[in-house]
Each structure stands twice: as structure tokens, then as C-alpha cells.
Amino acid sequence: MTTRVAQVITKFVAGAGGITLRGSLALDPDRFSVTIFAPAGGPFADKAQHAGLQVVPLSHLAPVLSARGDLRAVRELTALFTSKKFDIVHTHSAKAGGVGRVAAQRAGLPAVVHSFHGLPFHEFQAPARRKAYIVLERRLGRITDQFLTDGAAVAAEAVRLRIAPPERIRAIASPIDTAEIIPVTVASRAEARRLLGVPPDMHVVGTVGR
């Protein structure tokens, strides 16, 4: 019998959405059956379905805070979780993390995992708003069995703020589809220089950031 996994994401787009898709595809299909819950649309929905994953569009989950909309999203997910009887619910990012974890608890599902792709608060926010986010994440932490982060710094901050206990949080590397990596060859370097308009004999310094 396969383990039924529900992945819940606020927006199925690049960033957390890409990590969700690649992480789902990395699971052994003989052992895991994955369903992705996300608002309708998003560039990865077709990719996920083409790869054999089930994608269920959500009518009420949205990035913007809305008491009425969020309550509807909780009810919608609770009904879906109850009918499907998932073994694991894995939520991603702040909004899907809050709505999805509450819905999983209401549905009585056995295991809840949450991934922090960065924390939903920062030092430049108004103090009251920042404190409210921290308190909310602490409460959600009580109904979370395991936490995952994309980096050690996020994990350390979550532990420092008492959002997650150290024994239940892990920093893991984001999955990468090696098939999408272009091999570095003399020809590929020459083509890259041509596309960028860089002469063959000029030194190039590259940076990657966000």
C-alpha cells in the first residue's frame, strides 16, 4: 500500500512552488501517491499532471489575509483531507502552512510536515505585526510533527524564536532536476558568450542572488 501525501502550496509558481514540484517528483511512485493542492493556474500545474501527479485546484486559498476567505479555505481543505484520508500533509510557506495545518488537524490526519521557505516576518516589520506572526507560528508549531527548512539559518531562527523545537526541525537542500542542467562544454561556453554579447577573450565574473 502506498503512502498518500498531500502537498499544499499557496502559489504553484517558481520558488516554493518549484521546490514543491521537484520534491514531489523525487518521491518513489511505488511507495508514495502525491496530490498537490494549490489555487487554480500556475505554470507548474501542467508539468505536475504530465508527470503523473494529481493536482487539485483550490477555490479559496489566496496569499492575502482574509478572515472570511481563510475560513473558507480551511473548510475546503478539511473536507478534501477527510474524503481522501491522507497519511501525510506537507504544507509550504506561510498562508498554505497556516490553513493546511489547521485543516489537517481538523481532519484528524496522522502526520503533518511544514516547510519554511523563509520566515513570514522580518525585523523591518511593525513590531506588533511581527509579534503576531511569531505567536501564530508558535501555535501552529504545536500541531506540526516535523519542520523542514531550505537552509540552516532559517532553522536556527525558528528554534531561537521557539517556533520549532530543535529535535523536530531539519535543514535540507532543495531538490534539483539534474536533467535541466546544461553540461559545461567548450561549445556551451561559446554559445553563452554569444548570447550575452561577450567576446571570447574577455574575463567574465558572474553572481547569483535574490
pLDDT in tens, 70-127: 999 999 999 999 999 999 999 999 999 999 999 999 999 999 999 999 888 888 889 9
- Return the axis-axis angle of helices 94-107 and 127-141, rounded to nearest 10°: 30
Range in 14-18, 26-30, 176-180, 196-200 with the lowest mean pLDDT: 176-180
pLDDT in tens, 33-42: 999 999 987 7
- What amino acid is encoded at 151 in this protein? G
Model confidence band, residue 209 (pLDDT cutoffs 50, 70, 90) = confident
Residue 121: φ, ψ to 5°: -150, 165
Which of these, 29, 32, 34, 30, lies nearest to 44 by C-alpha position? 34
Distance separating the N- and C-terminal Cα atoms of the chain: 42
* Fold topology of 3-175: Rossmann fold (3.40.50)
Mean pLDDT of 167-179: 86
Q: What is the pLDDT of residue 174?
A: 81
Name residue, grid cell 571570447.
Answer: 200
Higher pLDDT, 14 or 88: 88
Name residue, grid cell 558572474.
Answer: 206
Q: Which residues pair with 115 in a beta bridge?
A: 92, 148
What are the extents of the domains in the chain? 3-175
Q: What is the pLDDT of residue 178?
A: 78
